[in-house]
Structure 1
Amino acid sequence: MRKVCLSGILLLSVILLAGAASAASVGGDQGWYNIHCNVDGAAVYMDGEYKGEIVNGILTVPVYSTGTPYKTISVEMPGYTTWFENIDTNPAMGEQEDIYATLNPSTEPTPAPIGGDTGYYVVYCNVDGADVYFGSDYKGQTANGELTVEIYTTGTPYTTYSVQKSGYTPFTAQISDYPAKGETVKLHATLNPAPQPTKSPVAPGIIMISVMGALLCGFLISRRE
C-alpha cells in the first residue's frame, strides 16, 4: 500500500511540473529593458503602449522573453523632439537590455517677416491636458476639448500634427488644409487609452490536482492502518 501512495505522489509531482511548464509557456520568463534618458519626466512608449516616465535618468520595463517582442520605442517630452528607435533584441530570462535615448530641445519655427499674415488651426481632442505638436514644435495643451494654434500663412507650412498624453496611445495625422489670412482650419484628434500589459494567467487546475493528490494519499494511508 505504501508503494501505491508513493506512486500517487510521484504522479502528482509529474503533473505539477507539467502544469508549471505549461504556465511558464503562457506567462513566459521575465527579462528587463533599462531605458536611459537625459530628461526626467519623459514618457516612454513601446509599440505605442505607455510604459512610464523617466525618473533619475532611467525607467526599467519588465517583459516576458517568451512573449511577442516589441519592435519600436519612443521617448517624448513637451518642448523636446521625440526620440524614436527600432528594437532589435529582446532580453532573455533574467537578462537586461540597455537602451539610451537623448532628447534635444525642439527647434523653434523661423519667425515670419514683421507684418506677416496669420491664420489659425483649432485642434479638437477628446482628452484635456493633451500635448499638441505641429511637426516637432510644441504648441500647448488642450483645454475644454480644444487648442487654438496661430500660424503665419507666409511661413513654411506644417505637414503633420500629433497629440499625446501619458496613458494614451499617441495620435498623429497629416495636415492637408492650410488657412489663409484670418481663416481657421479645424483639426481633430481622438486619444484612446494605451493597452495594459496582459497578466500571466493563473493555473487553478494545479491547485485542484494538489488537493486531490493529498486526499488520495491520505485515503490510502488510512486504509493501510
Structure 2
Amino acid sequence: MLEYPAKDQTVDLTVTLEQAPIGGDKGAYLVKCNVDGAKVYFDNDFKGEVKDGELLVEIYTTGTPYKMISVEADGYETYTAPIETYPAKGESVELDVTLEQAPIGGDKGAYLVKCNVEGAAVFFDGDLKGEIKDGKLLVEIFTTGTPYKTITVEAPGYQSSTVQIQQHPAKGETVEVDVTLTPEPTQTQTPLSLFPVLGALGLCSALFLFYRKN
C-alpha cells in the first residue's frame, strides 16, 4: 500500500538495489583485491583497475576461456594464478587476490610514515616524498646515501609536524615513523578592551559639556 505524507509528516521509503543481470551470452569475474588502483590482466589483456576493493570483468561464455589472472601495483609483488573456474551465462565467479608488499632491493631501506590525515604531504629535509594514502606512505632511501635528519608532515587545516629521525634503516629494512597531526586552533575574536571603551565615553562626555557651556 502506497502511503502519502500528511502535512508536516515524513514517510520513509526503503529502496533495495539488486545487481543488474549480465546480459547476452555473458558471465563475469568479480576480482577482489586488497590494493586499490591495482591493475588486473587476464592472459596479459588489461581489464581495468581495482576500485573500492573490487573489479567486475565481464566475459563471453562462448569465447576462448582465459587461463591466467595477473594483478600488479607499485610497491607490491605481482600476483599470478591460473583461472580454474569459469562463469556460466549470467553467473559471476569471485576471484580473491591478496598482494604482498615487495621486498626492498639493492642497497635500499625504507621509512614507513603513518599519519592520521589522508593526503598529507610528507617531506624529508624539505624534499617532498609523496602524500599519505590509506594512512601511510612508504619512502625508499639508499642506505649508502647521506642520512635524512627530519620528517615534516603537513596538511591544510592542520598544524604541521616535524620529527627528528632517530633511527635509520639498514639494507632491506623498514623503519616505521608515526606522525599525528592536530587541527589548527580556531581563531576567536579578541574582545574589545574595557579601557578604550571607557576612554571614548569619557571623551564624548567632555565634548558634550564643552559645547553645552559654549
Whether TM-score is above 0.5 comes out as: no
> Which structure shows the higher helix fraction?
1
TM-score bracket, shorter-length normalisation: 0.3 to 0.5
Query: Normalising by structure 2, what TM-score?
Result: 0.40
| Larger Rg, first or second structure (1 or 2) | 2
